[in-house]
């Protein structure tokens, strides 16, 4: 018997999608109505990009662009990092950590068949509680070290949730270098 939990076992098989020429405003309205934090941009059934709340904040709101006049393909993250539906959950966790992302479009032969998020993995995997406890301990320890004049911490980024050995304190929050840079 196959005891490996596969991505297809816990993925959302009805992900929210939109075309590349849709406006960011339309994508945002769709995300709101579906109560999701991201939307997959597809072309001929294949994922070509992902648009997240963070993308909208950084690339539209912070730059004071008009969401109604900006198409999603102008600001989407592309090409998207995807995972095959038959991949084990451990592969999804590894890919999310490696690419510092929280969601993966799921494909079968290149066609979109679902979406898997960190939340899906945590909700469906009680055995991951040990990992969560370890993350919490790492975050509590916040061991610091210095490199040059910059002080770094080890732990979990308070913005994106990724583990890092190079957290930086920004306005009282510990952030990974990517999140700290995005806020500058």
- Tens of pLDDT, residues 12-47: 999 999 999 999 999 999 999 999 999 999 999 999
Q: How far is CA 107 from the centre of its chain?
A: 17
Tell me: pLDDT of 91 over 80. yes
Task: Return the top range by mean pLDDT from 52-61, 88-97, 171-180.
Answer: 52-61
48 close to 20: Cβ distance less than 8 angstroms: yes
Percentage helix, strand, coil, to 5, in the chain?
40, 30, 30
Pairing of the two strands 103-108 and 83-84? parallel
What span, in angstroms and rounded, lies between the C-alpha atoms of 125 and 10?
A: 9
Give the pLDDT of residue 1: 41
| pLDDT single digits (tens) 149-164 | 677 787 888 888 888 8
Close Cβ partners of 92 (under 8 Å, ≥ 6 residues apart): 7, 83, 104, 116, 121
Cβ-based neighbours of 174, under 8 Å, separated by 6 or more:
142, 153, 155, 156, 157, 158, 167, 168
CA distances from 170 to 9, 62, 138, 165, 174 (A): 39, 18, 19, 15, 6
- Residues contacting residue 54 through CB under 8 Å, at least 6 positions apart: 182
Mean pLDDT within 89-117: 92
CB 106 within 8 A of CB 116: yes
> What gap in Å lies between CA 15 and CA 101, rounded to an integer?
17
Q: Which domains does the chain have, with CATH numbers?
A: 7-124 (3.10.580.10), 127-183 (no CATH)
What is the pLDDT averaged over residues 125-139? 59
SS3 43: strand
């Amino acid at each position: 018997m196959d005891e490996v939990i596969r991505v297809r076992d816990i993925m959302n098989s009805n992900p929210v999608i939109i075309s590349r020429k849709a406006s960011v405003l339309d994508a945002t309205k769709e995300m709101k109505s579906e109560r999701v934090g991201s939307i997959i941009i597809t072309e001929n059934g294949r994922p070509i990009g992902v648009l997240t709340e963070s993308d909208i904040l950084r690339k539209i709101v912070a730059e004071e662009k008009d969401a109604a006049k900006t198409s999603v393909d102008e600001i989407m993250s592309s090409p998207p990092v995807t995972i095959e539906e038959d991949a084990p959950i451990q592969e999804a966790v590894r890919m999310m950590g490696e690419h510092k992302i929280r969601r993966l479009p799921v494909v079968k032969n290149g066609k979109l068949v679902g979406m898997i998020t960190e939340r899906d993995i945590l909700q469906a995997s009680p055995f991951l509680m040990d990992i969560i406890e370890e993350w919490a301990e790492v975050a509590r320890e916040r061991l610091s070290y210095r490199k040059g004049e910059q002080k770094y911490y080890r732990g979990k980024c308070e913005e994106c949730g990724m583990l890092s050995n190079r957290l930086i304190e920004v306005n009282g929050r510990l952030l990974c270098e990517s999140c700290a840079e995005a806020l500058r």
